Amino acid sequence: MASKDVVILSDASFQTEVLEAETPVLVDFWAPWCGPCRAIAPTIDELAREYSGRVKVAKLNVDEAPELARRYGVRSIPTIVVMKAGKVVKGPVGTTPKEKLKAFLEDVLRSEPSSRAAG
């Protein structure tokens, strides 16, 4: 089961939780029968806690939302993507070490426009 920091997505919530989000959203496409998905789940939970307020972390069960999985080109799971302003920033497929996921998220956050005023 996902931690309280992870948003559980559905067809109904995807638009508001992901496409209209103000922060980047890491989406974990997974299924309960998928061993590698279960193996990476604790890492996803840790990232949700560590990046709270900077990156929204969400999980989408591909068995419950197959059309969304198809729309985003998910061919194998786990597939992790980051979405910014409704656009996909490709992420890793398969079980990925936490350090690699963190490096990917840091790259995404570095590419965010700064909200600080110049000067």
By annotation, the residues acting in catalysis are: 34, 37
Alpha helices, H only, 72-119: 98-110
Instruction: Report yes or no: 75 and 97 within 8 Å, Cβ to Cβ.
Output: no
Distance (Å, whole) CA 59 – CA 32? 11
Distance (Å, whole) CA 80 – CA 90? 8
Q: Which two tokens stand for residue 14?
A: 């995807």
Inter-axis angle of helices 98-110 and 35-50, to 10 degrees? 50
Q: Which amino acid is at 6?
A: V
